Amino acid sequence: MGSTQNLDLDTDESTSKNVHSQRNESISGFVMQRIIRSGFSSIFLSPGNTTSRPTLSLDFLPCSVKIEASTNQGLLLCTHFPPTYRNIPKVYVCKPTTKQWKQIPNPKTRYRNKAVGMIVLSSRPLHYKIVRFSQPKFRTDRDSYRFNNLRCEVFDSKIHAWKQLKEVILYESFLGFNSAVSACGSLHWLTFGCKIFAFHVKEETYSMISLPEAKNMEEEADSEL
């Protein structure tokens, strides 16, 4: 099956039965990926996997890809860097359970990724957004030592385009290396400042959330006595 305009639509009649059967069967698990000499190798692991179920892979994509983000509904955001001097990536959104994929436009790739997240806002019709944070040019002003400025770009599947929002300013805090956690329509990252950075996708705004205070287990046990 090739590229589709909507990832939840069947475009190849010869594979529609297979797609339908896989859609009606719930599959849970996770994809592990490792770097190999020729690119990336992926494997799907499921605690309830049996030999009767089809093995999920990314072999249906036209090239070896790196997984950048995923959603609870099984969509993956992937990139491929062709071996050219310009090193401009190709960006794909795919659904391994139905082997559907779509190439989307590139964001402004002159700045390196700091964090990427993806969230599905509705399934029918499919509507998703991708949020990308990157590091802008080095600044020499004095506030650059106190604030961590991040470029923010959002891809909206409805308009099939990226747009740049106002820079995100994190006060004395930096995004960690952990993946985004999707909950209640927002994407969340744990920062090095021991806070949670939340990007509210529909409103395209952000906020900082303090972590709950850690309780001393010994003191709590003594109080129960």
pLDDT tens per residue across span 129-167: 999 999 876 655 555 545 678 899 999 999 999 999 998
Mean pLDDT taken over the chain: 78
Q: Which two tokens stand for residue 44?
A: 């799907």
Is pLDDT of 178 > 90? no
Q: What are phi and psi of 125, to 5 degrees?
A: -75, 155
Does 39 or 182 have the greater pLDDT score? 182
> Can you spell out the DSSP letters for 18-62?
HHHHHHHS----EEEEEEETTEEEEEEE-TT--TTSPPP-STTSS
Does 172 or 16 have the greater pLDDT score? 172
Percent of the chain with pLDDT over 70: 69
Q: Which two tokens stand for residue 113?
A: 């990724």
Tell me what pLDDT residue 129 has. 98
13 — pLDDT class (breaks 50, 70, 90): very low
Name which of 58-67, 91-100, 133-142, 178-187 the model is least confident about. Answer: 133-142
Entry pTM: 0.77
Q: Which two tokens stand for residue 187?
A: 């994407």
34-58 residue pLDDT tens = 777 767 777 776 776 555 555 778 8
Does 171 or 90 have the greater pLDDT score? 90
Tell me what pLDDT residue 9 has. 36
> Can you spell out the DSSP letters for 55-104?
PP-STTSSS--EEEEE-TTS-EEEEE--SSSS---EEEEEETTTTEEEEE
20 — pLDDT class (breaks 50, 70, 90): very low
